Amino acid sequence: MSESKKRILIIDDDSRTAEFIRNTLGEKGYLAYYTEDSKNALDAIYNEPPDLIIIAIEMPSIKGDELCRQLKSDTVYGHLPVILLIPSGFERGKIVWDSIPADDYIIKPLNSDDLTLRVSLSFSRAARELDANPLTRLPGNNSIMKEGQKRVDLNKKFALAYIDLDNFKPYNDKYGFSRGDEILRMTARVVTNAVRELNCPDTFVGHVGGDDFVFIVPVELVESACRQIIKYFDLLITTFYDEEDRVRGYMDSVNRKGEKERFPIMTISVAVVTNEKRKINHLGEASAIAADLKKYAKSLKGSKYVKDLRGE
């Protein structure tokens, strides 16, 4: 399966319409798939993040407009473009567009040319507005700066956590970039699910690039999130190694000097900076503090998180 294909999730209990959309978009090079269960749609999105979502407005459990509002208010995947499917006989006067944050809509019965045009336009619009990481679909550097600086400007108490994977490069050198990308996707799921489980609206997750991730949560919740991330990362990471390396607990690879070296199973380091005891005037200050903390964290063995406890 080509990783360059755009993934499109269809949420519709009408299987004939969903099949038509899937086949039409599939012919255009998209990877389209569908679920008839709107109730568990958000879980499906978190488990396999799509690039775009098509939602039928009339669903038996959670209505499409309500599902759209839930998705758009989500702190992690609220940036994903959403297209609503509207039946031809639906009373359009019932739709209060000011309260439905959809990016576009299509009226049934569907026309294949109109469908592909609306999807293409939605992707073009999203590309202009968002800097999402193409591998994990998480917000990128511009969004990270914007979200972080917003909290600084509001003088809100927040915790900014930078995540780095220990011994990721040697893993890539031995196992290849394709398997390394699978670890990055797994890490993205672990982080987003841990933050999501906090059940707090004032949160954010981003992907700086490579094996560097960021999340922002209220100060009182950051240690809980860190513990969950470490717990599940350590639980899953060994499954990405060949049995021989997994049993030994290390692998043989090359270091940055090109020399052979023995590297332990990958671990995760989290550096946490807060404005709990010190005033932060710009996100760059927090990033600089986090960079020093991350160096210290990576000098320690195993998965761990370190928190900046210094005052002014």
Please tell me the predicted confidence (pLDDT) of residue 312: 52
- The span from the CA of 31 to the CA of 311, in Å, is 50
Residues of the chain with CATH 3.40.50.2300: 7-129
Structure tokens at 46: 């978190």
Q: In the chain, which residues fall in CATH 3.30.70.270?
A: 141-307
Task: Give the residues across from 83 on adjacent strands.
Answer: 54, 104
How big is the chain by its Cα radius of gyration, in Å? 22
Q: What is the pLDDT of residue 124?
A: 85
| pLDDT (0 to 100) of residue 1 | 37
153-171 pLDDT, tens digit per residue, is 888 899 999 999 999 999 9
What tokens were used for 237? 């990471």
Read off φ and ψ for residue 247, nearest 5 degrees: -70, -40
| The predicted structure's pLDDT at residue 171 | 95
pTM greater than 0.75 (yes/no): no
Q: Which top CATH class is 141-307?
A: alpha beta
User: In 40-91, which residue ranges form alpha helices assigned H by DSSP?
Assistant: 41-47, 64-72
Smallest CA-to-CA distance from 167 within 228, 229, 235, 238 is with 238
Instruction: Give the residues of the chain that fall short of pLDDT 70.
Output: 1-4, 91-97, 128-130, 311-312
Which residue is listed with tokens 């956590």? 161
CA angle 18, 112, 100 (to 5 degrees): 60
At position 276, the amino acid (one-letter code) is E
| φ, ψ (nearest 5 deg) of residue 170 | -60, -35
Query: What's the rounded Cα separation, in Å, for the pair 211 and 165?
Result: 6
CA neighbor of 308 nearest in space, from 283, 282, 288, 290: 290
Write the DSSP assignment of 102-135 as a string of letters. Answer: -SEEEESSP-HHHHHHHHHHHHHHHHHH----TT
Pick the CATH number of 7-129 from 3.40.50.720, 3.40.50.2300, 3.30.710.10, 3.40.50.1360: 3.40.50.2300
Predicted pLDDT of residue 130: 65
